[in-house]
């Protein structure tokens, strides 16, 4: 699973996704602003953002997942069975779904907006920050 690395505490990731078909994720300036507001609500609590690039039909985000203690506090879960990766994935899903639902309503459209899987690549080399 080359583009679907598992989330771990304190690790860096390149997150990206693309609109389906020939669709655009952002049709007007307000869409960019709303996307970032949804990002702030769902992703800011779980990750530090180092950079992002929002293109009309896709996006890229470079982020560091927060430490396990912070995530468990946010999840209100101190069980031994806590699934860190699953919680982060759910936050990411909530973020993209909230944007897609609002976008579909605003533009009177139906169906998927994003490709099925948001890709995530763990960054293990500092060199990537230089590019």
Question: Concatenated DSSP letters for 28-78?
Answer: SHHHHHHHHHHHHHHTTTTEEEEEEEEETTEEEEEEEEPPHHHHHHHHT--
The predicted pLDDT at position 125 comes to 80
Domains, the chain: 12-130 (3.30.70)
Query: pLDDT tens for residues 53-85?
Result: 999 999 999 999 999 999 999 999 888 889 999
pTM of the model: 0.91
> What would the pLDDT profile of 22-54 be if each residue is shown by its tens digit?
999 999 999 999 999 999 999 999 999 999 999
The pLDDT score that the predictor gives to residue 129 is: 66
């Amino acid at each position: 699973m080359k583009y679907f690395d598992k989330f771990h505490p304190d690790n860096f990731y390149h997150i990206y996704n693309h609109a389906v078909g020939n669709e655009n994720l952002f049709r007007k300036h307000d869409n960019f602003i709303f996307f970032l507001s949804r990002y702030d609500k769902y992703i800011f609590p779980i990750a530090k953002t180092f950079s992002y690039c929002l293109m009309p039909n896709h996006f890229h985000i470079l982020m560091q997942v927060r430490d396990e203690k912070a995530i468990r506090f946010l999840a209100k879960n101190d069980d031994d069975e806590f699934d860190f990766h699953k919680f982060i994935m759910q936050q990411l899903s909530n973020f993209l779904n909230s944007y897609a639902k609002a976008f579909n309503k605003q533009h009177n459209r139906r169906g998927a907006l994003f490709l099925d899987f948001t890709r995530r690549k763990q960054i293990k080399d500092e060199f990537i920050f230089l590019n």
